[in-house]
Structure 1
């Protein structure tokens, strides 16, 4: 077998098998990237998947890792295991740094590579909206490492609270502020509230569970703004029943690591701030700035092709098809990403074969969010409901969506144990968590 080698400035190489077929390079192995890979498997193409991690992450369950309900290896899945048996698909572990469209070349952390078709599926990162102090002292939830950092921060602070005799310090260590009332924020608040209700009294008899206060800060006047009023109202009731303090029409303006300040002047003592209030697109440099729209997303046509380029496409959270019907682009959720990945797979095959293509059409299959055990809300077309059945539906859909039989088994087993006992058995501090602010201060 012949091997093509391309060399970067450090004389490192990326090796790929020689091929007579078009090379499709996909950057990012999230929901969109993997859906595209599956659509192109076994075709007369060479598909190369790049990612800075060697695993796919199931983001909808990050909050359960963060609150000790699941271990991280139960919601991540190796790419090489995922593509095992896909003879035309290759994986390369590298971070793509720059696109050079004029030469159809990618510059990566490990070398250069030529492409015939390029697909950007790089997803998003946490958006702190330019607030450096908040970015430095809080934690987002866009990566499995973030979830582990939240877990270690929470457990370490609870242990510190058991040690200190300073009541104000204890309050700060045991107060949690979650910013953003979307699905991620709501689910995180519910999970923390259940931890406070069922785990804290057993593990920390030194102080009452009422000492752990949970605040959910939302800039608008409703939770789950992309869902129905019924879902929002029911979610608020569930959270209040769990003693979560919901602050509407409030936004964080500053955070020094110990005190949260809002734009209205309210202050909250808390050494735990979790940011779920916004995201922004994340992709390599090289795309013309005129194609970048609000949220740092890439504007595409209705075939998901980046405007101004004949062979560069964007899918998933970073893609924005701007029309009268979708002035802000499509929702940045998993079902959009999966549908776009499948659509683009068909579209690329048709382009190669000079066949006519149809524009992308998004089919909203509904929305679900959970607020704890037996408590969830569901908007499925005309059907809007809440409670046990919504929670059961949420559980089944998420369990079936996880990659790998072993992972589904692990998650299902943990959920079954938790259902009957409320137990969260993964309360281990396996490494010290250090806030970014303390690391940056040490490095100065």
Structure 2
């Protein structure tokens, strides 16, 4: 065994230690990427094997495929089938370094990043930290509901759902049973629509087999959207077709409605409706998340960072932002580009080329987003697609959605696992992952309406 002196000498010869974080020494420019989502991962992939040192910081040690989080939440997929370890992803990338840390602050004046494990210097910094659930200042709702932004949220939803269904089989209190089996989804975008469709299929195909103690009709699903249409970023055809699909699945869609309060057991809407529900899933909005250190004057609506057309953060020469937190504000994009995976991936690849050109002192072209279309599924054999001038729905749209998502998952094994699960589900309507592997704490109690002008939605009037 080496003595401490020999070990220290060996480390000094291979590493440059900066306040406890060991980063291999390199003669090449160091690019630090914060966040390994779609944008950050695309950038790292673009810069692999280049004469650069690429350092990825992330609070997780894996990339997660967020478009399928709802399938983990509804027991269709196991969590490890949509996550992929960074170290496995970067195997063989000699210029890429991964460190499991949480970045707390950036000090642009000294090109230093402060993390919970120490400090690191950078030559170029790329913020790809993504978004978190936006509850719009509704603290009680934030405290008592669940978002769906990462794999832990999905597992919490799954365990909450299964535990509540089990408790509903135990209780003899009708009001308690109603609350335990009511599901409210807030937000009519792709995540909310897909979650509602998956829950409706769970109710139709799984509930009668697993819970013969009560009829499947006891499980009510509500989808609440603040404006007058679903999937507002897609075509009118996609919106109307989605509404029809959900209504055919007996989902209660409430348009032009919003949630004003939720105590964990009772949902109160802006118009005065009351829904007893111990399951509330919030998909109504997101906001950018990034460490301290960026001047607030460069932060725009949605807590996004304003950049120029080259994705450089305004006011800084060597800091860039990509993905959901980046906002290129122009006449064509007054709200920035859409916060979707394809935009993030394109920005990651673009910035990779741009950084190489900057280092070589070559000119760079402005970022141009190429919209390849939008897809959303509403259950088996039901989906909508907007591909340029082509707008269609039904089985072919669902097949296209399945192929695109399957091919986008990282790792052959993960694609195989997801494809196999989908094939089994297609022919058997089975969801095999209905296990409670850890308890989800839910101490909510039923609170009856306090005001007589509240319109209570119950099992009897649906």
Q: Which of 280, 284, 306 is the aligned partner of 1:299?
A: 306
Q: Which of 326, 346, 349 is the aligned partner of 1:342?
A: 349
Q: In the alignment, is residue 164 of structure 1 matched against residue 171 of structure 2?
A: yes
Alpha-carbon separation, structure 2, partners of 1:2 and 1:386: 57
Q: Which of 6, 13, 17 is the aligned partner of 1:5?
A: 17
Alpha-carbon separation, structure 2, partners of 1:47 and 1:77: 19
Alpha-carbon separation, structure 1, partners of 2:427 and 2:64: 27
- Say which SS state the counterpart of residue 378 (structure 2) adopts: strand
Q: In the alignment, is residue 280 of structure 1 matched against residue 287 of structure 2?
A: yes
- Residue 99 of structure 1 and its aligned partner are, at CA, apart by 0.1
Q: Which has the larger radius of gyration?
A: 2
Alpha-carbon distance change, 436 to 315 in structure 1, aligned in 2, over 3 angstroms: farther
Alignment correspondent of 2:360: 353
Gaps of 5+ in 1: 8-12, 439-444
Q: How many equivalent pairs are there?
A: 433
Q: In the alignment, is residue 201 of structure 1 matched against residue 213 of structure 2?
A: no
Question: Equivalent residues in 2 for 1:27-42 (5 A)?
Answer: 27-42=34-49
Alignment correspondent of 1:43: 50
Alpha-carbon separation, structure 2, partners of 1:86 and 1:382: 40
- Say which SS state the counterpart of residue 106 (structure 1) adopts: strand
Alignment correspondent of 1:442: none
- Residue 16 of structure 1 and its aligned partner are, at CA, apart by 0.9
Q: Which of 181, 184, 191 is the aligned partner of 2:191?
A: 184
Q: Which of 262, 270, 275 is the aligned partner of 1:263?
A: 270
Alignment correspondent of 1:63: 70
- Residue 437 of structure 1 and its aligned partner are, at CA, apart by 7.6
- Residue 18 of structure 1 and its aligned partner are, at CA, apart by 1.0
Please give the TM-score of this superposition, normalised by the length of structure 1. 0.97
- Residue 436 of structure 1 and its aligned partner are, at CA, apart by 8.8
Are the equivalent residues in 1 in contact too, given 2:278–2:444 (CA < 8 A)?
no
Q: Deviations over 1:331-373 (max 9, x none)?
A: 0000000000000000000000000100000000000000000
Alignment correspondent of 2:386: 379
Q: Which of 101, 108, 112 is the aligned partner of 1:94?
A: 101
Alignment correspondent of 1:321: 328
Alpha-carbon separation, structure 1, partners of 2:261 and 2:57: 37
Q: Deviations over 1:37-56 (max 9, x none)?
A: 01000000000000000000
- Residue 2 of structure 1 and its aligned partner are, at CA, apart by 3.1
Alpha-carbon separation, structure 1, partners of 2:47 and 2:398: 34
Are the equivalent residues in 2 in contact too, given 1:137–1:436 (CA < 8 A)?
no
Alpha-carbon separation, structure 2, partners of 1:126 and 1:16: 33
- Say which SS state the counterpart of residue 109 (structure 2) adopts: helix
Gaps of 5+ in 2: 1-12, 446-462
Alpha-carbon separation, structure 1, partners of 2:92 and 2:221: 47
Alpha-carbon separation, structure 1, partners of 2:186 and 2:40: 29
- Say which SS state the counterpart of residue 236 (structure 1) adopts: helix
Are the equivalent residues in 1 in contact too, given 2:265–2:444 (CA < 8 A)?
no
Q: CA RMSD in A?
A: 0.9
Alignment correspondent of 2:147: 140
Alpha-carbon separation, structure 1, partners of 2:107 and 2:388: 43
Q: Deviations over 1:389-437 (max 9, x none)?
A: 0000000000000000000000000000000010001000111101498
